[in-house]
Structure 1
């Protein structure tokens, strides 16, 4: 191999117990002409996965298998990962690197390291492969009985498992639906529907014991521009508005015109409309957009207790009482969070607003409220859209309304849980 050629990298992710190590051993056993180096990340101080990979292959820990232990390579071990992969490329000759991330790693940040760090000079990302435990995914998102609802990080903090499963799917180029034998045909169809809604046009392979075609697994799968479901819904809605000739500006329409729910708040400014994305794969989706702030308690009551029919929702919140702060809302299954994302552009000094708008002419801007809005995408099965819209509309307030007991964070990056699993159940 020409030493100046970039080495392709396949990042292998998935939840604990999904079958990543089994798939990796299958890959190594059937590698054929592929000369593979492996880096295994384990959360414990003893890298059990690295030993299992070495035991099942002709590689050895320290030989063909490199280990990073006692931390997660998508966060606290990123510097170690960068150092390890650069050293690998310098000291060994191989034609493909496979990184098995720990069960709590998010593959997106791992892949970005091979694009933005000094590792980018030696590597190219070939693909992000997520191994999904079909039984666990069905239990979590399609009406099963989940035994595990949380995942524990190396520092002992708890995160909802549903969050992790969604993020691992949304960043994938290939989803390996493992443990196919543990779900029915109807369940696997529903699981595929949800996965496709989270990551449209995703390549999905079903297997029982990680037996995936090696050439396909190591092929050039990566598409950094592949759509994520919630973002695709927003873009489709925006295009629909453009084709209709009205876009998002409805200054001549009041709340009563746009939805027919009545205008009990008396707003005559833009609330926009709820738009539909085309129903595909058995999943429905819609966008809720309003040019008015939500009462914080009301937002928490509705968005922290969404019906089970809502699998995924995400977007921006305009919260009364902290109207200069743009909040990002994210829900996956039973968990929901609000994060302070910094100020609205409309809250910045006028010269900064003007500069930003010149550099971003595509920004959705209202003459009176600027970029302030609540804009949420909901994805799920048979969502009662009218009921959800009505519930949110009941908590709309006038801009500038006085709100007491403001509990939402105001510093960028701070997070507030609206709903999260309390532990194993």
Structure 2
């Protein structure tokens, strides 16, 4: 085993033309670079994985069986082990993994966890240097407004893959630690600047690069994308960021090229019926909202809130620390316990709301008023938890909180 683990850059993107252009530029800058490219083939019937480098023939090719919507099986079973073996035999060459266009970076990260190659944990053989997502500015807004799933749109994916195009787009952007905006928008400089601002609001924690599509300095691009060391494995998935103490978004109610981002935080619980009646109005004009909340009728569960492509998904992120026996608190991460300590309230304990709303020309004041009206009133608060649990709850039975919060995020 080499002393220094080979560095792997994961290069994702829904728009293959732009993603492949970035990959070609990296190969041009470093002829010794290994590019592991995976494609879904034969109309969602399987995958093909090729390993290439500049100036040489294809090194190896893998063909996989139908995925049934689970790319993680292919990643753990063959793709990541092949990548690790290649990297181990060429310890001083950099590696770029180019997964299929519809694969989310978090899927790759999850597959890396617990993956064992020839009896050795994957993290002992390679290190992921960064997750890079390439975005084509001309198509991003259309993607974020598309609620149709991949199968309906005819995009190669697993046969049972029912994710919407908007879901894939935001998850690729939000998990990345580096985002490349490829090309200029056909509408002109204002539209390009608007997309750039939108990407900053969607992923304020990422490094952002903007490239023209007519002339790219390959050497400069490689310097900015490779060996950056930006990936932090301890960073949770997007939905769990807030409960783990990481920022979930930025509060910028003043528009930047008409793009607005608003953060809503409060401690008193939502009334389930009023929230259910208002959620469409709350997300009116919103491109993306995300975060977590709690319902007065279900005070044990952390409810994940995720809106994109015109659809709202609610799920369980686990239990609040206050609803978990103290002898089990050691199951929470150190960051989770620290975040709970900071958020601890003398009446609500660690329960709170943390929601982020991103859109174009959003009325932040109206949004805040709509959310505030869903909170319990003073009179309702005075009734106490036993009365809250008896509320008519349109969300009853929809959440299974589990024992602890999920460190990697994701609704269930």
Match of 2:407 in 1: none
Structure (1 or 2) with the larger CA radius of gyration:
1
Query: Once the 2 structures are TM-superposed, how far is the Cα of residue 167 of structure 1 from its aligned partner?
Result: 1.7
Pairing of 1:222-371 with structure 2 (within 5 A): 222-224=229-231, 276-277=251-252, 279=254, 281-282=256-257, 283-307=259-283, 309-349=285-325, 352=328, 360-363=337-340, 364-371=343-350
Instruction: Tell me if structure 1 keeps the 8 A contact 2:147–2:166.
Output: no
- Pairwise CA distance, 1:193: 0.3
Residues 282, 371 of structure 2: 8 Å contact kept: no
Corresponding position of 1:106 = 104
Whole-Å separation in 1 of the counterparts to 2:146 and 2:354: 33
Q: Distance in 1 between matches of 2:85 and 2:305?
A: 40
Correspondence for 2:86 among 73, 85, 88: 88
Q: Is the 1:115–1:124 Cα contact (8 Å) retained in structure 2?
A: no
**Greater Cα offset, 129-138 or 390-399:** 390-399
Structure 2: tracts of 5 or more residues without a match: 116-120, 152-156, 403-409
**Residue equivalent to 1:35:** 32
Match of 2:226 in 1: 219
Structure 1 pair 276–21 and aligned structure 2 pair: CA distance change class (3 A): closer
Separation in 1 of the partners of 2:215 and 2:48? 19
Match of residue 126, structure 1, among 124, 129, 139: 129
- TM-score, normalised via structure 2 length: 0.73
Report the Cα distance in structure 2 between the residues aligned to 1:211 and 1:47, rounded to whole angstroms.
30
**1:289 Cα shift?**
2.6
Distance of aligned partners of 1:405 and 1:379 in 2 relative to their CA distance in 1, 3 Å threshold? closer
Matched residues, number: 368
**Matched residue of 2:298: which SS?**
coil
Contact 2:70 2:158 in 1 (8 A): no
Query: How far has the Cα of 1:287 moved from its partner?
Result: 2.7
Q: Tell me the CA shift for residue 160 of structure 1.
A: 2.1
2:208 to 192, 203, 206: 203
Q: Are the counterparts in 2 of residues 318 and 374 from structure 1 also a CA contact under 8 Å? A: yes
Q: Give the whole-Å Cα distance in 1 for the aligned partners of 2:291 and 2:143.
A: 22
Distance in 2 of aligned mates of 1:212 and 1:161 = 31
1-side partners of 2:91 and 2:247: how far apart?
Answer: 49
- 8 Å contact from structure 1 (residues 293, 320) kept in 2: yes
2:391 paired residue number: 403
CA RMSD of aligned residues (A): 4.0
Q: Which residue of 1 aligns with 2:170?
A: 166
Contact 2:72 2:111 in 1 (8 A): no
CA contact (8 A) 1:21 1:49 kept: no
Alpha-carbon deviation of 1:57? 6.0
1-structure distance, mates of 2:114, 2:255 = 35
1:150 deviation in Å? 3.1
Aligned CA distance change for structure 1 residues 186 and 138 (closer, same or farther; 3 Å) = farther
Say if 1:35 and 1:94, in contact at 8 Å, map to a contact too.
Answer: no
Q: Which runs of 5+ in 1 are unaligned?
A: 239-274, 417-425
Instruction: Report how far residue 216 of structure 1 moved.
Output: 2.6
Corresponding position of 2:180: 176
